[in-house]
Protein backbone atom coordinates (compact mmCIF):
# COMPACT_ATOMS: atom_id res chain seq x y z
CA UNK A 1 0.00 0.00 0.00
CA UNK A 2 1.23 3.46 -0.81
CA UNK A 3 2.37 5.22 2.29
CA UNK A 4 2.23 8.92 1.64
CA UNK A 5 3.94 11.10 4.20
CA UNK A 6 1.55 13.97 4.28
CA UNK A 7 2.48 15.96 7.29
CA UNK A 8 5.74 16.68 9.01
CA UNK A 9 3.98 16.21 12.32
CA UNK A 10 2.81 12.89 13.67
CA UNK A 11 -0.40 12.73 11.58
CA UNK A 12 -1.62 9.22 11.04
CA UNK A 13 -1.46 8.00 7.49
CA UNK A 14 -3.89 5.21 6.78
CA UNK A 15 -4.88 4.18 3.33
CA UNK A 16 -7.98 2.05 2.91
CA UNK A 17 -7.83 -0.98 0.76
CA UNK A 18 -9.20 -0.47 -2.73
CA UNK A 19 -11.69 -3.22 -1.97
CA UNK A 20 -13.21 -1.17 0.80
CA UNK A 21 -13.28 1.81 -1.54
CA UNK A 22 -15.04 -0.19 -4.22
CA UNK A 23 -17.54 -1.41 -1.66
CA UNK A 24 -18.25 2.14 -0.62
CA UNK A 25 -18.55 3.23 -4.25
CA UNK A 26 -21.20 0.56 -4.73
CA UNK A 27 -23.14 1.67 -1.66
CA UNK A 28 -22.91 5.27 -2.81
CA UNK A 29 -24.11 4.19 -6.26
CA UNK A 30 -27.21 2.50 -4.90
CA UNK A 31 -27.90 5.39 -2.55
CA UNK A 32 -27.59 8.09 -5.20
CA UNK A 33 -29.71 6.08 -7.61
CA UNK A 34 -32.56 6.17 -5.14
CA UNK A 35 -32.00 9.88 -4.53
CA UNK A 36 -32.28 10.56 -8.23
CA UNK A 37 -35.54 8.66 -8.39
CA UNK A 38 -36.94 10.77 -5.61
CA UNK A 39 -36.02 13.87 -7.59
CA UNK A 40 -38.29 12.59 -10.36
CA UNK A 41 -36.09 12.78 -13.41
CA UNK A 42 -37.91 12.91 -16.74
CA UNK A 43 -35.74 10.06 -18.03
CA UNK A 44 -36.92 6.60 -17.07
CA UNK A 45 -35.35 4.71 -14.22
CA UNK A 46 -34.49 1.94 -16.63
CA UNK A 47 -32.34 4.24 -18.74
CA UNK A 48 -30.47 5.44 -15.68
CA UNK A 49 -29.90 1.90 -14.55
CA UNK A 50 -28.58 0.66 -17.87
CA UNK A 51 -26.24 3.53 -18.66
CA UNK A 52 -24.92 3.82 -15.15
CA UNK A 53 -23.83 0.24 -15.00
CA UNK A 54 -21.63 0.43 -18.05
CA UNK A 55 -18.21 0.18 -16.58
CA UNK A 56 -14.69 0.08 -17.76
CA UNK A 57 -11.55 -0.47 -15.80
CA UNK A 58 -9.78 2.86 -15.65
CA UNK A 59 -7.08 1.77 -13.30
CA UNK A 60 -6.01 -1.39 -11.60
CA UNK A 61 -6.93 0.21 -8.30
CA UNK A 62 -10.65 0.84 -8.48
CA UNK A 63 -13.65 0.06 -10.57
CA UNK A 64 -15.07 3.22 -12.04
CA UNK A 65 -18.73 3.82 -12.73
CA UNK A 66 -19.59 6.61 -15.13
CA UNK A 67 -22.44 7.85 -17.26
CA UNK A 68 -22.19 7.67 -21.06
CA UNK A 69 -21.19 11.03 -22.50
CA UNK A 70 -24.20 11.38 -24.77
CA UNK A 71 -26.59 11.23 -21.87
CA UNK A 72 -27.46 14.59 -20.44
CA UNK A 73 -29.47 15.37 -17.38
CA UNK A 74 -32.46 17.41 -18.48
CA UNK A 75 -33.24 18.27 -14.86
CA UNK A 76 -33.17 22.02 -14.27
CA UNK A 77 -31.63 23.04 -11.01
CA UNK A 78 -33.46 25.73 -9.06
CA UNK A 79 -30.13 27.46 -8.36
CA UNK A 80 -27.07 28.33 -10.37
CA UNK A 81 -24.46 26.59 -8.22
CA UNK A 82 -23.17 24.86 -11.31
CA UNK A 83 -21.50 28.12 -12.30
CA UNK A 84 -19.67 28.58 -8.95
CA UNK A 85 -16.08 27.42 -9.13
CA UNK A 86 -15.45 26.39 -5.52
CA UNK A 87 -17.51 26.35 -2.35
CA UNK A 88 -17.39 25.04 1.21
CA UNK A 89 -19.81 22.25 1.99
CA UNK A 90 -22.10 23.30 4.85
CA UNK A 91 -23.81 20.06 5.83
CA UNK A 92 -25.08 16.72 4.53
CA UNK A 93 -28.03 18.33 2.75
CA UNK A 94 -25.78 20.87 1.10
CA UNK A 95 -23.51 18.04 -0.01
CA UNK A 96 -26.43 16.20 -1.59
CA UNK A 97 -27.68 19.32 -3.37
CA UNK A 98 -24.45 20.82 -4.59
CA UNK A 99 -22.24 17.79 -5.04
CA UNK A 100 -24.22 14.63 -5.64
CA UNK A 101 -26.94 16.36 -7.61
CA UNK A 102 -24.66 18.75 -9.44
CA UNK A 103 -24.98 18.52 -13.22
CA UNK A 104 -21.29 19.30 -13.49
CA UNK A 105 -18.52 16.98 -12.44
CA UNK A 106 -17.38 17.95 -8.95
CA UNK A 107 -13.99 17.64 -7.30
CA UNK A 108 -14.34 17.20 -3.56
CA UNK A 109 -11.33 18.47 -1.64
CA UNK A 110 -11.25 16.76 1.78
CA UNK A 111 -8.90 18.86 3.90
CA UNK A 112 -8.15 19.86 7.48
CA UNK A 113 -6.83 23.04 9.01
CA UNK A 114 -4.06 21.09 10.71
CA UNK A 115 -2.85 19.58 7.48
CA UNK A 116 0.08 21.39 5.92
CA UNK A 117 0.01 19.69 2.50
CA UNK A 118 -3.72 20.53 2.22
CA UNK A 119 -2.80 24.22 2.30
CA UNK A 120 -0.51 23.61 -0.68
CA UNK A 121 -2.90 21.46 -2.67
CA UNK A 122 -5.97 23.66 -2.12
CA UNK A 123 -4.89 26.68 -4.17
CA UNK A 124 -3.37 24.44 -6.85
CA UNK A 125 -6.63 22.60 -7.22
CA UNK A 126 -8.57 25.87 -7.42
CA UNK A 127 -6.24 27.02 -10.16
CA UNK A 128 -6.73 23.81 -12.14
CA UNK A 129 -10.49 24.07 -11.72
CA UNK A 130 -10.55 27.75 -12.73
CA UNK A 131 -8.71 26.89 -15.94
CA UNK A 132 -11.69 24.77 -16.96
CA UNK A 133 -13.90 27.86 -16.98
CA UNK A 134 -16.99 26.41 -15.35
CA UNK A 135 -16.88 22.90 -16.73
CA UNK A 136 -16.09 21.45 -13.33
CA UNK A 137 -17.01 22.51 -9.80
CA UNK A 138 -15.03 22.15 -6.59
CA UNK A 139 -16.47 21.38 -3.18
CA UNK A 140 -14.35 21.80 -0.06
CA UNK A 141 -15.01 19.59 2.96
CA UNK A 142 -13.27 20.30 6.26
CA UNK A 143 -12.99 16.83 7.79
CA UNK A 144 -13.12 18.16 11.36
CA UNK A 145 -16.42 19.92 10.66
CA UNK A 146 -17.82 17.05 8.61
CA UNK A 147 -16.17 14.00 10.14
CA UNK A 148 -19.03 11.61 9.39
CA UNK A 149 -19.12 12.63 5.74
CA UNK A 150 -15.38 12.14 5.42
CA UNK A 151 -15.54 8.73 7.10
CA UNK A 152 -18.48 7.79 4.87
CA UNK A 153 -16.34 8.46 1.81
CA UNK A 154 -13.50 6.44 3.21
CA UNK A 155 -11.15 9.35 3.75
CA UNK A 156 -8.29 8.39 6.00
CA UNK A 157 -5.34 10.58 5.06
CA UNK A 158 -5.64 14.16 3.91
CA UNK A 159 -5.64 15.78 1.45
CA UNK A 160 -7.94 13.37 -0.39
CA UNK A 161 -9.64 14.51 -3.57
CA UNK A 162 -12.65 12.60 -4.87
CA UNK A 163 -14.08 13.30 -8.31
CA UNK A 164 -17.81 12.85 -8.77
CA UNK A 165 -20.00 12.82 -11.82
CA UNK A 166 -23.75 12.53 -11.41
CA UNK A 167 -23.35 11.32 -7.87
CA UNK A 168 -20.85 8.58 -8.74
CA UNK A 169 -17.26 8.56 -7.66
CA UNK A 170 -15.25 8.41 -10.86
CA UNK A 171 -11.73 9.01 -9.61
CA UNK A 172 -9.73 10.00 -6.56
CA UNK A 173 -6.25 10.66 -5.28
CA UNK A 174 -4.52 11.17 -1.95
CA UNK A 175 -1.69 13.59 -1.26
CA UNK A 176 -0.20 16.45 -3.21
CA UNK A 177 -0.03 16.63 -6.98
CA UNK A 178 1.75 19.26 -9.03
CA UNK A 179 0.01 21.60 -11.46
CA UNK A 180 0.49 19.39 -14.53
CA UNK A 181 -0.74 16.28 -12.75
CA UNK A 182 -3.77 18.21 -11.52
CA UNK A 183 -4.55 19.55 -15.00
CA UNK A 184 -4.53 16.08 -16.47
CA UNK A 185 -6.57 14.71 -13.56
CA UNK A 186 -9.22 17.39 -14.00
CA UNK A 187 -9.29 16.99 -17.79
CA UNK A 188 -9.79 13.26 -17.41
CA UNK A 189 -12.69 13.83 -15.03
CA UNK A 190 -14.39 16.25 -17.44
CA UNK A 191 -13.30 14.58 -20.65
CA UNK A 192 -15.39 11.47 -20.54
Residues with catalytic roles: 115, 118
Which residue, 115 or 170, has its beta carbon nearer to other proteins? 115
Which residue, 106 or 115, has its beta carbon nearer to other proteins? 115
> Which 27-86 residues touch other proteins, going by CB under 8 A?
none
For every residue of the chain, DSSP letters joined together read: -------SS--------HHHHHHHHHHHHHHHHHHHHHTT-SS-HHHHHHHHT-EE--SSS--EE---TT----PPPSS-GGG-SEEE--SHHHHIIIIIT-SS-EEEEEE-TT-HHHHHHHHHHHHHHHHTTTSSEEEEEETTTTHHHHHHTT--SSSEEEEEETTEEEEEEES---HHHHHHHHHHHHH-
Tell me which of 2, 3, 14, 38 binds other proteins, using CB under 8 A: 14
CA 63 from chain centre, in angstroms, equals 14
- In the bound complex, what is the minimum distance in angstroms from residue 137's beta carbon to other proteins? 25
- In the bound complex, what is the minimum distance in angstroms from residue 88's beta carbon to other proteins? 17
The answer to whether 5 contacts other proteins (rule: CB under 8 A) is no
> Which 101-140 residues touch other proteins, going by CB under 8 A?
112-115
Tell me which of 58, 62, 156, 192 binds other proteins, using CB under 8 A: 156
Tell me which of 2, 9, 42, 133 binds other proteins, using CB under 8 A: 9
- In the bound complex, what is the minimum distance in angstroms from residue 109's beta carbon to other proteins? 16
Supply the angle between the helices 116-131 and 179-191 in degrees, to the nearest 10.
Answer: 50
Which residue, 12 or 80, has its beta carbon nearer to other proteins? 12
Can you give the binding site for other proteins, defined by CB under 8 A?
A: 7, 9-12, 14, 16, 112-115, 143-144, 147, 151, 156, 158
Amino acid sequence: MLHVALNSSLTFCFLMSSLQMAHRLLIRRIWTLSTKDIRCLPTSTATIASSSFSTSLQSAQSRVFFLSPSRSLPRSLPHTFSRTVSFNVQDHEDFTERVINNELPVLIDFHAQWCGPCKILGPRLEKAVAKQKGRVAMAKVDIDDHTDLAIEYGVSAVPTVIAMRGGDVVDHFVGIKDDDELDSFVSKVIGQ
